[in-house]
Amino acid sequence: MLKPEDLYILPLDQWIQDGVRWVAIHFRPVFQTIKWPVETLLSAIETALHAVPFPILIIAFALIAWRVASRGVGVFTFISLIVIAFIGLWSEAMTTLSLIATAIVVCVILGVPIGVLCARSNRAWSITRPILDVMQTTPSFVYLVPVVMLFGVGTIPGGVAVIVAALPPLIRFTNLGIRMVDKEMVEAGLAFGATSRQLLWEIQLPLALPTILGGLNQTVLMAMVMSVIVAMIGAEGLGLVVLQGLGRLDVGRAALGGIAIVLLAMILDRITQALARPDQRKGGGRSLLATLAQVVRPRRDAVEELETHEPAKSGGAAQARG
């Protein structure tokens, strides 16, 4: 039977390899420049997370979850982090968390301005949209190929891959959120003489904030997924624990890595979901500040009440004497 490969094979793989190699050789300073901020930020966050004793970090993360989301999420965060610490994967979990934190910071710095640009310019959106389509439909493993060829292997190239994979949702949701702002609000702002900058900062971005934070939630989850996959190119963290467990047929260690990944992903998901819900942010849970205020307020109220009544009493006594 006649097969296509008997006639001709297009050497596309060789062309791609030659092209990527040419780019890697001639644009090496550009990739080193791209790599530098990621390396600096990742090293700073990882050093900070490893420098703080784990009980302090557990309490701090639990209080942040309590304040941002609810008391239940705070308790869940506290218990989950204790479980991660006492199954021996605290250091790996902090490395994974530093990868995700770096990706979030860089994605916000890049994604929100690009999303705003796309929302304000149909031409920019028509150029960006197919790029995002390709980025979001490309299997995560495929990202590793150009990253390895352009940036090498290790945790820093893994951070670059995490950023590239996590960026598209934030751009899409920022663009969508600003485009969904009520036109009457925009027209009212223009009628009152708002400049383009005032319109963006005081009307469009505040109204689009829940949608943008929804995009941030998706970015966090994409970063979490990718931070596990980049273990295949030598990135450290929980993904490497799973990979080592599978490689050695150590099912127990692989399962522990999986449990830690699930717990960390649930913590990040619940916190970022709460950020995207205005009602949850306002009253879903009692914040630490509100709790402390309730503790302090009765004493302050009592002092104020005492100061209010004492002049009245002294005034009444003076009247009685008079």
Q: Per-residue pLDDT tens for 215-239?
A: 998 998 888 888 888 888 888 888 8
CA distance 181 to 174: 11
CA distance 264 to 52: 18
Whether residue 65 is predicted with pLDDT greater than 50 in this model: the reply is yes
Whether residue 278 is predicted with pLDDT greater than 80 in this model: the reply is no
Other C-beta atoms lying within 10 Å of the C-beta of residue 185? 13
pLDDT band at 321 (very low <50, low <70, confident <90, very high): very low
pLDDT, average across residues 251-266: 90
pTM for this entry: 0.77
297 or 21: which carries more pLDDT confidence? Answer: 21
pLDDT at 187: 84
Most confident region among 14-23, 78-87, 226-235, 279-288 by mean pLDDT: 78-87
pLDDT band at 98 (very low <50, low <70, confident <90, very high): very high
The residue written with tokens 């509100």 in the block is 290
CA distance 96 to 238: 6
Q: How far is CA 30 from CA 33, 152, 164, in A?
A: 5, 14, 16
Residue 153, φ and ψ in degrees, nearest 5 = -120, 160
pLDDT at 280: 53
CA distance 267 to 96: 13
How many residues appear in the chain? Answer: 322
Q: Which helix (H) or strand (E) holds 311?
A: helix 288-321
Whether residue 303 is predicted with pLDDT greater than 90 in this model: the reply is no
CA dihedral of residues 198, 202, 203, 209 (deg, nearest 10): 130
How far does the chain reach from its first CA to its final CA, in angstroms? 123
Whether residue 83 is predicted with pLDDT greater than 60 in this model: the reply is yes
State the DSSP string of 128-152: HHHHHHHHHHS-HHHHHHHHHHHH-
Residue 206, φ and ψ in degrees, nearest 5 = -60, -40
pLDDT band at 128 (very low <50, low <70, confident <90, very high): very high
Q: How far is CA 265 from CA 100, 172, 261, 269, 289, in A?
A: 10, 22, 6, 6, 26
CA distance 257 to 89: 8
pLDDT, average across residues 160-177: 91
State the chain's mean pLDDT as an integer: 82
User: Token digits for 251?
Assistant: 């099912």
171 or 33: which carries more pLDDT confidence? Answer: 171
Other C-beta atoms lying within 10 Å of the C-beta of residue 186? 16
pLDDT band at 193 (very low <50, low <70, confident <90, very high): confident
